[in-house]
Homo-oligomer: A and B are copies of this chain.
Amino acid sequence: MSAPIARTPEPPYYAAIFTSRLGDEADGYPEMAARMEELAARSPGYLGLESVRDAGGHGITVSYWASEEAIREWKDQSQHQIAQETGRARWYAEYRVRIAKVERAYGFSGGP
């Protein structure tokens, strides 16, 4: 469930920030999450994805996209293939999605 730091191009581009808290029922969740990431990676305009979930059930997944339109298309496509309503009721106690335009980026890479 942990994806490394994404190699995104120079801004501007878009980010979908997905923050969630899982409920008690986790059966099938890892498979669904892996499927969502697969679908994203095959969608037009996909630039990369970062995902972390801790042992307490808190997760943040940020996916990066060339445009807002690409996010909409991915969302529509994934909703057809994975029942979103089922996902909400079954796995998530709570979630929040924020669509944001990345304006600048910087970083450091020097470790092992």
Given contacts A4-B58, A17-B62, contact A88 B108 (CB under 8 A): yes
Consensus secondary structure, chain A interface? strand
The verdict on A98 contacting chain B, using a C-beta distance below 8 Å, is yes
> When chains A and B are docked, how far (Å) is the Cα of A60 from the Cα of B59?
9
Q: How many residues of A contact B (CB 8 A)?
A: 50
A interface list, Cβ under 8 A from B: 1-6, 8, 11, 15, 17, 19-21, 23-24, 50-56, 58-60, 62, 68, 88-89, 92-112
9 closest A-B pairs by CB: A93-B111, A96-B107, A100-B100, A60-B60, A100-B102, A98-B105, A94-B109, A2-B58, A23-B111
